[in-house]
Amino acid sequence: MKILYAGTLTENDTALHRLWALERLEHTVVPLAFAGFEAKNPVLRKVLFRLSVGPGVDRLNADVLRLAETERPDIFWGDKMLWIRPSTLKKLRAMGIATVSYMIDNPFGTRQDPGWRLYMKDIPFYDLHVVQRDKNISDYKARGARDVIKIQTAYEPTLNFPPPAEWSDKDCDREVSFIGTPYDDRAETLTRLWREAGFAVTVSGNERAWRRAFDAEAFAGIFRHGELYRNAYREAIWKSKINLSFLTHSNQDEFVHKSFEIAGSGGFLLAERSEGHMQRFVEDEEAVFFTGYEELVAKIRRYLPDEAARRRIAAAGRVRAERDGYYNDRQMQLILERVAATIPDVKAAAR
């Protein structure tokens, strides 16, 4: 199939990884990168993003339709594309092009991120919505969605793979490690692990965000390296004796993208307990889970000195992730199988 794929396609964005997977599945992908449509002035960019208005919105929708006319794809795929207009989706369908929205975030969550104005109007006009949460299926259908499929986030096999066979604790320079964002009460929890429990905690991520989240002493003692991507991200997982993974409760997460990246990279995963995590990993065999601070401390005390147990669980987690398709290629295939059933009807209606 030919797919017109619009998304944020920098080398550090997972939307690009999903594009790679579609290409590995031998589909023809026509990329449309979102970055070129944003305003250059940072203040104006924030305002226009929040309101979903401006010349960038006009140009993006015009370019989608222009490429659709010239390339005649079977599918238009928007990866968290918040600026597509309902009129554009109607025109694509009139051209016989099926439309897919892949949404990694939750427009119905309590976090109340900005920028959803146009997207919420789009919901009835996409042929298929791809979401990450059971709750979102009913949310989208209540808004008039034609079809909704739940697909888990996935690791990228060209970037997330295990360390060399001889890797051991002597190669690790991160004891208790977290790589990510300071949502919810993560900064408080990590500070307590460092200050009260006495663990050597290392956090990497956006420096400005973590500096605001930590007190000055905790930031100086915990934060290291800034944001990590691609090879640096995978190698930090390798170098971590314990890799923490927290749910984003304000986004109503059932599981975490990071958990699959850690497992895919052969890291020891200590994740917040949830039904979604427990459905995907056998507890204490393929991953270790915690609920609340006290259990988190207990699990760290149990596993930090036990390299053999960590290596055994990490290896089993990697096997499970590969066997059950927690990687991009398999998840993209599931989406394509679902939308493929829609394509004949869309093409027939356009005749």
The confidence score (pLDDT) of residue 45 equals 66
- Tell me the domains of the chain and their CATH numbers: 2-151+328-350 (3.40.50.2000), 169-323 (3.40.50.2000)
pLDDT tens string for the chain (351 positions)?
Answer: 999 999 999 999 999 999 999 999 999 999 999 887 766 777 666 767 776 777 889 999 999 999 999 999 999 999 999 999 999 999 999 999 999 999 998 998 777 677 889 999 999 999 999 999 999 999 999 999 999 999 999 999 999 999 999 999 999 999 999 999 999 999 999 999 999 999 999 999 999 999 999 999 999 999 999 999 999 999 999 999 999 999 998 888 899 999 999 999 999 999 999 999 999 999 999 999 999 999 999 999 999 999 999 999 999 999 999 999 999 999 999 999 999 999 999 999 887
Report the candidate in 119, 138, 143 with the shortest Cα–Cα distance to residue 6. Answer: 119
Cα separation, 224 vs 78, whole angstroms: 34
Buried b / exposed e along 260-271 (16+ C-beta atoms within 10 A): bbbbbbbbbbbb
Within its chain, how far is the Cα of 305 from the centroid?
31
The confidence score (pLDDT) of residue 39 equals 60
Q: Does residue 184 come out as left (phi exceeding 0), alpha (psi in the -120 to 50 range) or beta? A: left
Q: Is 175 exposed, middle or buried (0-12, 13-18, 19+ CB in 10 A)?
A: middle
Looking at residue 132, its amino acid is Q
Residue 164 is classified by DSSP as: P
Cα separation, 72 vs 30, whole angstroms: 10
The confidence score (pLDDT) of residue 52 equals 72
pTM for the model: 0.93
Task: Name the CA radius of gyration of the chain, rounded.
Answer: 21
